[in-house]
Amino acid sequence: DAGVTQSPTHLIKTRGQQVTLRCSPKSGHDTVSWYQQALGQGPQFIFQYYEEEERQRGNFPDRFSGHQFPNYSSELNVNALLLGDSALYLCASSLSGLSRGYTFGSGTRLTVV
């Protein structure tokens, strides 16, 4: 049973560019959350998708947007990249409801130069 799959694993972009990161949730999970983890920090909540809608959002600007598809997979888009957007982006999937089962992917390492 595959866990959470994220792509790409590494990415280098230039300031001002746009990027799309992808996430396939664990089989049976219907909710996807995205987190940003800067070096030496804990993950910070970006937003959460359920039933193809953004349900909750953390303290991130509108440059961060997302999408969830009917097969529960998700994308994270970041526009007008800044140097400060360099981080590990983690996707976590879960089953709706307050379960204990959050499964994280290995993340996408984004470097903005």
Residue number, 57 or 63, with CB nearest to other proteins: 57
Is residue 90 within 8 A of residue 33, CB to CB? The reply is no
Binding residues for other proteins, per CB under 8 A?
Answer: 3-4, 31, 33, 35, 40-45, 48, 50, 55-56, 58, 90, 92, 96-98, 100-107, 109
| Alpha carbon distance 16, 112 (integer Å) | 9
Question: Residue 7: which of 24, 27, 22 has the closest Cα?
Answer: 22
| Cβ 30 to other proteins shortest distance, Å | 10
Q: In the chain, where does DSSP find H-type helix? A: none
Residue number, 19 or 46, with CB nearest to other proteins: 46
| Cβ 16 to other proteins shortest distance, Å | 27
